[in-house]
Structure 1
Amino acid sequence: MELRQYQQDSRQSIQAEWEKGVQRTLLVLPTGCGKTIVFSKVIEDRVRLGERVLVLAHRGELLDQAADKLSKSTGLGCATEKAEQTSIGSWFRVVVGSVQTLMRDKRLRQFAADHFDTIIIDEAHHCLSDSYQRVLAYFEKANVLGVTATPDRGDMRNLGSYFESLAYEYTLPKAIKEGFLSPIKAMTIPLKLDLSTVGQQAGDFKSSDLGTALDPYLDSIAGEMWRVANDRKIVVFLPLVKTSKKFTSILNAIGFRAAEVNGDSQDRAEILADYDSGKYNVLCNSMLLTEGWDCPSVDCIVVLRPTKVRSLYSQMVGRGTRLFPGKTDLLLLDFLWHTERHELCHPAHLIAENEEVAQAMTKQIEEAGIALDLETVEKQATEDVIAQREEALAKMLHEMKRRKAKLVDPLQFEMSIQAEDLSSYVPSFGWEMSPPSEAQVKTLEKLGILPEAIDNAGKATKLLERLDKRRTEGLTTPKQIRFLENRGFEHVGTWSFDSAKRLIDRIAGNGWHVPDDINPKEYRGE
């Protein structure tokens, strides 16, 4: 099998990481870009070196898929470590293993701690859980490759706490641009769905609360789906099995050919096959089909399980990103979810580089009322955000310039009052070296000193002490010094406050011009 360029590059990058001694590395490829093919080729490379390899996953479908792709792409067979099936005594050098089975102490101890040289973790965003960590800790000397389409995790624990490097990442926008995944069009359905009463659990919305909150809107959602996508092949993700079943009935009542699958469906394989062949045009599920199921002909995704977790959102959308003959794009239907905080994942989060661009994209899509190409929207939103930033920066610089014009630079002040002890000051102690406090910064600015030019608390303290002393002694203020020295007067810092005030009053009375009978270079105050 000939690999695509990015697949070959990722294969080589993974081997390079291990060769330079990085034990635990990560591969990120979008759903539909052949991550199973890539790690099958990596396994082939390791077997050629005489190694034993374990492929670890949390679902039977993923293990079956790995075994199938490994056989087709490399010709390698494998043993299975799952429930009553065991690899003990097998001559195969590759084992596909269920983490739920291998995490058991009795099962683990049938293997020597150095039995496996390499471990591949499919859907690696799950690997921080205790079950995975137990297995990985047992085979602690093995090289580890984590493979995922989504590098962030629901409980927000960073994968970087386990993996030491990112060997290779291929992004969704790049895959679409290079023609390996379907373009995505997003459309906001103008239905306001109130989620403000929905509780939270483990960093996301509670499924039980979501089901109840969705119920009043199901008929309206079905109607909108018929309006914009009745000719599409749709997968709908819902929070609860009972909601999924109810929505399937509503869809069938208005003309869709809808089916529902869940973890207890006895005829699940048959339903999926019938959907694939076109008997059904809508497939409803309660988060069952987020991983390990492929149907490239899907060209519409409806997410009725709102989430704050980008990895979960990407998994749902990933069911529709594969290419298929005659398929021109993937339509992604979004809704006007109302929450107390703007934390929800929207289509924009699939490709936006940051939250600012994502928000600008979401606003654009909401206001359009039609399906928009995500890449086009992202380009426009990025340009808009940059323009807004430049405008804000120009405004800020103008404000800073205006502010600076009213403040005196500390060095100018020190030279003017002839304070060598201040101009040559070097902090000695820890507290002196720390940045000026917020209170010091505010007081310095209030007294007319430009605070940005002071980088340590010691200098700020000495300046404030000197300013307080000068006030007590009736000497000029920084603002008086700035005003007069900007008009050519010298060493104003040695004058009295009253002398400077009288001169400033004379200048003000002369239309803010220095009177003709005064020579600023020679004037030394009264």
Structure 2
Amino acid sequence: MQLRPYQEEARKSIHAEWEEGRKKTLLVLPTGCGKTIVFSKVIEDRVKMGERVLVLAHRGELLDQASEKLEKATGLKTATEKADKTSIGSFFRVVVGSVQTLMREKRLSQFPTDFFDTIVVDEAHHCISDGYQRVLNHFEKSNILGVTATPDRGDMRNLGTYFDSLAYEYTLPKAIKAGYLSPIKALTIPLKLDLSAVKQQSGDFSTRDLGNALDPYLHQIADEMLEHCANRKTVVFLPLVKTSQKFKDILNQKGFKAAEVNGESKDRQKVLEDFDKDKYNVLCNSMLLTEGWDCPRVDCVIVLRPTKVRALYSQMVGRGTRLFPGKEDLLLLDFLWHTERHELCHPAHLIAQNDEVAKKMTKNIEEAGETGLALDLQEAEVQAEKDVIAEREESLAKQLNEMKKRKRKLVDPLQFEMSIQAEDLTNYVPSFGWEMGPPSEAQVKTLEKLGIMPEAIDNAGKASLMLKKLEARKSEGLTTPKQIRFLESRGFQHVGTWQFETAKSMIDRIAANGWRLPKGVVPSTYEG
């Protein structure tokens, strides 16, 4: 099986992390971008090296899917460690294992601690839980690959408490732009749903309270669906089985062909097959279909289970991001959830790189929704970034002017970031343990040597990113921090975008003129 370019890059990056001693590494791929194919090829590589591999997951569907894809992509067959099935005594080099089974002491103790050389954790955002940690800590010498589709920096910080590195990340916008996933449009429906009385449970909203809060609005939501997605293939996520069943009945009364599945559905497989074959055009579920189920025909997703957890939100929306012949886009219907205390996930959070842009996107999408207009998420992000940059530059103008006036030998990192227009530095948030620690002594000395004030950089991750940026700029022949500081203190703009030689030439001219601006040079309009 021929891997896509980004999949091959991911495969190589994972091996590189392990070779460099980072034993616990992450792969982040959006839903629909072939994460199972990538880790199947990585497993094939490790088996060829004589290793034994465990694929660990928390649901039977994920284990079955991994086993099927692995055999299809590589020809490797697997043994199973789940309930009454055991891999003990099997000659297969790969085992697919249920975490609920392996976490039991009686089952886990049958395996020597060095039995598996490599462990792949599917849906790795779950692996911080006690059950996963019990299994992973038992096989303490193994290389670990965690695979997840979560796009959220907060989730990444949580994962960073266990994993050593991020081997490879492929973003949703990149996948859409490259034509691997469907474009996404978001429409905010001006229907206000009051969640102010909903309690919190395990870091998110209580599903029981959500079901009660949602109940009065179900008929209105169904009417909005008639207007906006009557001709689409729709999946609706709801908080409770009884709410899901009630909504299915309401939709059928309105003229939809709706079905419902939940964890107790005996005919679940038949319903899913009938939905795929167009017997139904709406499928309601109470959070059953967040993982391990694919129906590429889905071109509308409605999240009626509001959440603060972006990994969960991403999983729900991911049910509709795959391509299908004739499918033009995925429509997300969003609602005006009223909550006093918590920031909810909205369509913007799927692709926005920071909360500031996400908030601006959400506001712009809501304003467009008042006129019934659905916005393409990528176009909305571009506009929101422009709006945020304009607002940020205005608010920082005074602060930067103050910095430029200060008599310091070294450059404040903020001035440098703004001058070179480095959004990745300005928005940087540490994810992994080593990144969160203070800069090392070597980093501090190198930053000082290169002209950056190290006291203003409070973590090793940002220091590392700053040093990489400085090294890259040096190789590209761009301005140094000291050149930027000197010229911008004289009123020149965005000196960070100039070439080194251009800046040197201007500084030499100023020096030759008694450290005064040469005649005819207007700094505010001068372009280097």
- TM-score of the superposition, structure 2-length normalised? 0.75
CA contact (8 A) 1:121 1:147 kept: yes
CA contact (8 A) 2:257 2:279 kept: yes
**Residue matched to 1:62:** 62
Residue 385 of structure 2 corresponds to residue 382 of structure 1: yes
**Residue matched to 1:309:** 309
Give the counterpart letter for 2:325 in structure 1.
Answer: P
- Shift, 1:389, TM fit: 1.2
**Residue matched to 2:361:** 361
Change in Cα spacing, 1:289 to 1:142, as seen in structure 2 (3 Å) is same
**In the aligned structure 2, how far is the partner of 1:66 from the partner of 1:4?**
19
**Superposition pairs for residues 107-122 of structure 1, below 5 Å?**
107-122=107-122
**Residue matched to 1:293:** 293
**In the aligned structure 2, how far is the partner of 1:226 from the partner of 1:209?**
26
**Residue matched to 1:135:** 135
Residue 285 of structure 2 corresponds to residue 282 of structure 1: no
Give the counterpart letter for 1:81 in structure 2.
Answer: E
**Residue matched to 1:253:** 253
Change in Cα spacing, 1:192 to 1:254, as seen in structure 2 (3 Å) is same
Residue 195 of structure 2 corresponds to residue 187 of structure 1: no
**In the aligned structure 1, how far is the partner of 2:407 from the partner of 2:137?**
59
SS at 1:343 equivalent: coil
**In the aligned structure 2, how far is the partner of 1:355 from the partner of 1:142?**
36
How many correspondences in the alignment? 406
CA contact (8 A) 1:153 1:309 kept: no
- Shift, 1:158, TM fit: 1.1
SS at 2:113 equivalent: coil
**Residue matched to 1:211:** 211
Residue 31 of structure 2 corresponds to residue 31 of structure 1: yes
- Shift, 1:89, TM fit: 1.1
| Greater displacement, 95-104 / 339-348 | 339-348
Change in Cα spacing, 1:377 to 1:112, as seen in structure 2 (3 Å) is same
SS at 1:289 equivalent: helix
**Residue matched to 1:338:** 338
**In the aligned structure 2, how far is the partner of 1:154 from the partner of 1:386?**
22
Give the counterpart letter for 1:355 in structure 2.
Answer: D
Give the counterpart letter for 2:383 in structure 1.
Answer: Q
SS at 2:83 equivalent: coil
Deviations 1:197-231 (A, max 9, x none): 00011211100000000000000000001101100
Give the counterpart letter for 1:382 in structure 2.
Answer: E
**In the aligned structure 1, how far is the partner of 2:358 from the partner of 2:151?**
18
| Greater displacement, 309-318 / 153-162 | 153-162
CA contact (8 A) 1:152 1:158 kept: no
SS at 2:294 equivalent: coil
Alignment identity in percent? 76
**Residue matched to 1:41:** 41
Deviations 1:79-104 (A, max 9, x none): 00000011111110000000000001
Find the structure with the greater CA-based Rg: 1
**Residue matched to 1:233:** 233
- TM-score of the superposition, structure 1-length normalised? 0.75
Change in Cα spacing, 1:163 to 1:151, as seen in structure 2 (3 Å) is farther
Change in Cα spacing, 1:394 to 1:265, as seen in structure 2 (3 Å) is same
CA contact (8 A) 1:151 1:159 kept: no
Give the counterpart letter for 1:134 in structure 2.
Answer: R
Structure 1 gaps, min length 5: 411-454, 456-526
Change in Cα spacing, 1:110 to 1:253, as seen in structure 2 (3 Å) is same
**In the aligned structure 2, how far is the partner of 1:337 from the partner of 1:264?**
29
CA contact (8 A) 2:252 2:258 kept: yes
**In the aligned structure 2, how far is the partner of 1:363 from the partner of 1:128?**
33
SS at 2:289 equivalent: coil
Give the counterpart letter for 2:397 in structure 1.
Answer: A
Deviations 1:208-258 (A, max 9, x none): 000000000000000001101100000000000000000000000001000
**Residue matched to 1:125:** 125
**Residue matched to 1:484:** none
- Shift, 1:22, TM fit: 1.2
**In the aligned structure 2, how far is the partner of 1:394 from the partner of 1:98?**
55
